Amino acid sequence: MSGALLITGVGQRIGQHLAEHLQAQGYQVIGTYRTDRPSLTGLSEQGVQLIKCDFNQPVQVAELIAEVQRQAPALRGIIHNASDWLPDSSAESAVATLHAMMQVHVAVPYQLNLALQDQLMASEMADIIHLTDYVAEKGSRKHIAYAASKAALANMTLSFAQLLAPKVKVNSIAPALILFNDGDSEEYKQKVRAKSLMNKEAGADEILQAVDYLLQSRYVTGRSLAVDGGRHLK
Ligand SMILES: NC(=O)C1=CN([C@@H]2O[C@H](COP(=O)(O)OP(=O)(O)OC[C@H]3O[C@@H](n4cnc5c(N)ncnc54)[C@H](OP(=O)(O)O)[C@@H]3O)[C@@H](O)[C@H]2O)C=CC1
Ligand SMILES: Nc1nc2c(c(=O)[nH]1)N=C([C@H](O)[C@@H](O)CO)CN2
């Protein structure tokens, strides 16, 4: 396993797990982060190239693109992991919520994919992986803007797969209940676990295994890999 991989949102949880393990596999991970966290020290010591970027700041996104183009003239892949899970807010800030969801889940992935396509094409083989969500196909009563933005991201998988084939494969991974958040109550955890046939919190390794499968494939593109414990059958 080799080549430069851009992973967004590596400061914690799934993104951190992906960065640590893909760097250990021999890829040169370029990881974006927004918030300074103790985890970043370990990633840096492991050799991950860290770039601070708030996707709500256009100048910082432009600087990120220029820095990736400098560091990786040939880019093995982009994993769009960065995300905010905002609940729908009160009416007065509803548009702000929708804009925030579309910015992090749609606008920046769209901008990065277009701006870095020459670098992806310069790699012997390349992958784009969009981290979407089971709710992209199902909807969500309490995260309407979030789910709509993930559905848009899933649709971009179809478009970019057609645009960049055959040199660059483009796929989605659609998770459900991979990691709970600090502060989730036992009552909430029990309720959410019960939404899937497997009735469990999957763990970040399930996403790493899905990423490994897609990076090693020479054929799968334009598809969404569901990692959701059979939630669609409950
Ligand atoms: N956890 C789960 O059970 C599920 C996760 N998913 C998807 O999997 C992916 C990983 O999930 P998870 O690890 O829980 O994600 P997190 O909620 O931990 O978010 C990942 C990172 O995204 C970064 N981020 C958020 N907003 C911005 C922004 N405006 N600019 C730059 N970075 C930003 C944050 O960076 P920082 O910390 O540096 O501020 C954060 O650490 C996400 O796309 C998520 O939607 C889908 C279904 C289930
Ligand atoms: N960016 C994030 N997206 C999502 C998260 C999260 O923590 N951050 N969590 C979920 C949950 O798994 C939800 O599906 C059940 O609690 C969904 N997306």
67: in domain? yes
Q: What does the pLDDT average to over 39-52?
A: 98
Residue 149: give the domain boundaries.
Answer: 4-226
How many structural domains is the chain composed of? 1
Helix (H) or strand (E) holding 174: strand 168-175
Q: What does the pLDDT average to over 154-158?
A: 99
User: Which pLDDT value is given to residue 1?
Assistant: 80
Q: What does the pLDDT average to over 167-183?
A: 98
232: in domain? no
User: Which pLDDT value is given to residue 165?
Assistant: 98
109: in domain? yes
Q: What does the pLDDT average to over 130-159?
A: 98
Residue type, 209: Q
231: in domain? no
Q: Give the pLDDT confidence of 102-135 residue by residue, as tens digits.
A: 999 999 999 999 999 999 999 999 999 999 999 9
Q: Using alpha carbons, list the distances in angstroms from residue 118 to 39, 63, 113, 123, 128.
A: 31, 17, 9, 9, 13
Q: In this structure, are strands 75-80 and 126-131 parallel, antiparallel, or unpaired?
A: parallel
User: Do you find a cis peptide bond into 87, omega within 30 degrees of 0?
Assistant: no
68: in domain? yes
For residue 130, the domain's CATH number is: 3.40.50.720
User: Which pLDDT value is given to residue 166?
Assistant: 98
Give CA–CA dist 117/197, Å, rounded: 39
Nearest CA to ligand 2 atom 6: 85
ipTM over 0.90: yes
31: in domain? yes
Q: In this structure, are strands 75-80 and 4-7 parallel, antiparallel, or unpaired?
A: parallel
Q: Give the pLDDT confidence of 182-228 residue by residue, as tens digits.
A: 999 999 999 999 999 999 999 999 999 999 999 999 999 999 999 99
234: in domain? no
Q: Which ligand 2 atom is at minimum distance from the Cα of 135?
A: 14
User: Which pLDDT value is given to residue 92?
Assistant: 75
Give CA–CA dist 10/33, Å, rounded: 6
Taking 90 as the threshold, does the pLDDT of residue 178 lie above it? Answer: yes
Give CA–CA dist 128/80, Å, rounded: 8
Q: How far is the CA of 81 from the centre of ligand 1 (A)?
A: 6
Give the mutation target among 17, 35, 79, 85 for probing the ligand 2 site: most ligand atoms within 8 A of CB.
Answer: 85
Q: What does the pLDDT average to over 30-50?
A: 98
Q: How far is the CA of 45 from the centre of ligand 1 (A)?
A: 22
User: What does the block give as tokens for 27?
Assistant: 């890829």
User: What does the block give as tokens for 159?
Assistant: 């478009």
- DSSP, res 143: -
* Among the bound ligands, the one closest to the CA of 58: 1
Q: What does the pLDDT average to over 51-70?
A: 98
Q: What is the mean pLDDT of the chain?
A: 97
Q: Which ligand 2 atom is at minimum distance from the Cα of 84?
A: 1
User: What does the block give as tokens for 218?
Assistant: 């020479």
Q: Where are the beta strands (DSSP E) in 36-90?
A: 49-52, 75-80
